Structure 1
Amino acid sequence: MSLPPGLRLPVDVVLARPVAQIPAPTALPGGCSYELKFDGFRCVIARDGAQVSLWSRRGTDLTSAFPEISAAAEQLASGTVLDAEIVIWTAGRLDFGSLQERMGRGPRKAAQHARVHPASAAVFDVLATGGDDVRAMPFSLRRALLEDLAALWRPPLNLSPTTSDVDEAREWFETYIVAGVEGLVVKGADQPYRGGQRDWLKVKHRSTVDVVCAAVIGPRTAPEQVVAGLPVNGHLRIVGRTGPLNPVARRALADVLRAPMGEHPWPAVVPAGEFGRFGRERGPVELTRVNPVVVEVSADAAWSGSSYRHLLRFVRLRPELHPMDLVAPAATSGNASLE
């Protein structure tokens, strides 16, 4: 049995828009279903005849990068398409760094890595089963179908847990942060699966941290974004950037930003990849380097050990702090420098 005609891979997945608090049970059509937001790679898993394929949300073929998931997907019936998160657990905690190491490796290297750091899939939705496209069904019915399918699975395919009890969801939110879970994803029981639409909600753990603003994007007199740095392994490293600044933040920063004095730790131009998946630019990014000042930002739990993988939010200036006073969340021992 093959995939339904309307499901040509890669397929657009449903997205989630951020909210500040855990939504009330009635916030979405049909009532809310709460799920854990795992820190991994979003992946569509498909079985078409004898062929298994894995696709990222951006249309990258992940089949050879995760041979253990591809092998596990052979237990699916043909005509099945699942939405999942690929994760790696190390010592009881989600390990995004090991996931990143898979990318760009050949099949042999990926297989070696799979033996040392095996991945698993937390499956949370079904797009097709038995060759039938079920995306038009409400989530409550898709979830029931998914639970029936999952009853026959063996790891590393796993059914992601869900609850309609907001109190239990709050408990999950607070409890699982120690395991690296980013927060919650919330779906409406009556919602169909509309690929490319931000129909779901997500609430993530956030905390305020102090970072060094040693450059901005845009002119010093009207900065558009802060380029954030922290001491990592003894050097001031670029660790992320904020989203677009509001007018109040622009004015506050413009009042204190000064041209750098002496040698600056960062180049005037950096590759777009310096900002990871939040580097929308296709080519190099020009930095407006400034004399380093400390600012407070809001960050989620996605610290890789050397950078923030998600956009930061500017909170306020911290003029009372010196850049040399800061310590990265996972900084190694030793004194940091601006060289």
Structure 2
Amino acid sequence: MQPALAASVAALPRGEGLAYEPKFDGHRILLFKIDGRAVLQARSGRLVTTAFPDLAEAALALPDGTVVDGEAVVWTGGRTDFAAVQRRAAATAARAGLLARRLPASYAAFDLLWERGEDLRPAPYERRRQRLTALLGPLGPPLQPVPMTTDPRLAATWYETLPAAGIEGLVVKRLARPYRPGARDWLKLRHTEVRDAAVTGFTGPPARPAALVLVLPDDDSPVVSSPLPPALRARAGRLLSGRAAEQPEQPEQPEQPEGAPRTATAVGIGEVPYRAVAPGLLAEVERGTTRHAAVRVRRLRDDLINQI
């Protein structure tokens, strides 16, 4: 199932019939409860059920025939930790249980697509929101609806104050709109387009990578950065040499044949092969506001390498 998407805006939208939610930079997940089983699907369509056993177990409390849209997030030190949630998403079945105990995930739910076999996607967001809070309210953590307000003044306060908790913006929805899979009907407002991205691989020689392969918040599909400058190539080679030698943890990818090369999307080129690295390293990146803008690496965040 395709999730709904959001288009970037430069200022806070105001007007009648708008709803505002804090924007969590976690791992986008559609959560299914079907025939007594929980299934977790990433935005790309990849299954990540075994990577999040804590969320899968919590989802068993949902009624059959239910689909929820939201973000898996990990909190450390009172802030959302993007490196930690990406490590969770990349965990093998053997490591997933250990990481779930050390880095427990929460599920920030923001839409209800099906409930007890009823397709709610044609219903207006206002109704879906009411059904979502009624469904998850009695369950409690780790499945929780995100906060929502129709007051633009409160939304502006959230926008200014919540970055201290690692929440970098707002998502804006129209109360009367249906849920349209794959469509950019929602709006997102961020403080900056400078963000942290998870380094998942590289192209070029290991000693001097030509570009990094990155996973950005909001999208688990890897993308290739623009070419690295010479100084950054050398630094990337030093930081990634040991990590490339490790066997990277990978999420479930049933659609990929065994032995198939890993590929990522490079702007203006298409799919290119890359060498994967173990998760845990972040890069500070800058991206334009258009959908297919190139991603430029500003620096490597080796200060935030997750050692778990």
TM-score (norm 2): 0.69
**In the TM superposition, what whole-angstrom CA distance separates every residue of 1:259-310 from its partner, at most 9, and x where no partner exists?**
xxxxxxxxxxxx96597xx79732259xxxxxxxxxxxxxxxxxx9741466
Give the residue type in structure 1 aligned to 2:62. L
**Pairwise CA RMSD of aligned residues?**
3.3
Cross-structure match for 2:15: 25
Q: Using the TM superposition, give the Cα deviation of residue 159 of structure 1 relative to its aligned residue in structure 2, in angstroms.
A: 1.1
Please state how far the C-alpha of 1:311 moved relative to its aligned partner: 2.2
Partners in 1 of 2:229 and 2:288 — Cα distance?
Answer: 12
The reply to whether residue 155 of structure 1 matches residue 131 of structure 2 is no
1:108–1:226: structure 2 CA closer, same or farther, 3 Å change rule?
Answer: closer
Instruction: Give the aligned residue type for 1:282.
Output: E
Q: Which residue of 1 aligns with 2:256?
A: none
Partner of 2:135, secondary structure, is: helix
Deviation at 1:44, TM superposition (A): 0.6
**Superposition pairs of residues 251-266 of structure 1, within 5 angstroms:** none
Deviation at 1:177, TM superposition (A): 0.7
The correspondence of residues 79-118 of structure 1 with structure 2, limited to 5 A, is: 79-118=65-104
Instruction: From the superposition, tell whether residues 280 and 196 of structure 1 become closer, same or farther in structure 2 (CA, over 3 Å).
Output: farther
- Which one-letter code corresponds to 1:13 in the other structure? P
The ranges of structure 1 where at least 4 consecutive aligned residues each deviate by more than 4 angstroms after the TM superposition are 228-234, 271-275, 327-332
**1:68 and 1:114 in contact (8 A); partners too:** yes
- Kindly indicate whether residue 196 of structure 2 is the aligned counterpart of residue 206 of structure 1: no
CA distance in 1, matches of 2:281, 2:160: 22
* Structure 1 residue identity aligned to 2:31: I
Contact 1:88 1:98 in 2 (8 A): yes
Q: Provide the rounded CA distance (Å) in 2 between the counterparts of 1:174 and 1:21.
A: 13
Equivalent residue of 1:35, what SS?
Answer: strand
Q: Write out per-residue CA displacement over residues 63-122 of structure 1, whole angstroms, 9 at most, x where no aligned residue.
A: 001000000001101111101110001111111111221244321201100000011100
d(CA) in 1 for partners of 2:148 and 2:44?
25
Distance 1:233 1:280 in 2: 20
Q: Secondary structure at the match of 2:271?
A: coil
Structure 2 match to 1:51:
37
Cα-to-partner distance string for 1:234-283 (whole Å, 9 max, x where unaligned):
8267xxxxxxxxxxxxxxxxxxxxxxxxxxxxxxxxx96597xx797322
Is contact 1:25-1:164 (8 Å) kept?
Answer: no
Instruction: Name the CA shift for 1:88/1:231 in 2 (closer, same or farther; >3 Å).
Output: farther
2:236/2:300 contact within 8 Å kept: no
Aligned to 2:27: 41
The residue that corresponds to 2:235 in the other structure is 235
For CA contacts below 8 A with separation 6 or more, give which structure has more relative contact order. 2
User: Given residue 63 of structure 1, which amino acid in structure 2 is its aligned partner?
Assistant: T
Partner of 1:64: 50
Amino acid of the structure 1 residue aligned with 2:162: Y
Pairs within 5 Å for 1:264-283: 281-283=270-272
CA distance 1:208–1:86, shift in 2 (3 Å): closer
Q: Sequence identity, in percent? A: 36
Q: Identify the residue that residue 13 of structure 1 maps to in structure 2.
A: 3
Q: Structure 2: which amino acid aligns with 1:157? A: L
Counterpart check, 1:75 vs 2:61: yes
Distance 2:31 2:41 in 1: 7
User: How far did residue 131 of structure 1 move?
Assistant: 1.1
Q: Which amino acid aligns with 2:287?
A: L
Q: Which moved more, 1:198-207 or 1:137-146?
A: 198-207
Stretches of structure 1 that go unaligned for 5 or more consecutive residues are 1-10, 210-214, 217-224, 238-270, 286-303, 315-326, 333-339
Q: For 1:330 and 1:126, how far apart are their aligned partners in 2?
A: 36
The count of aligned residue pairs is 242
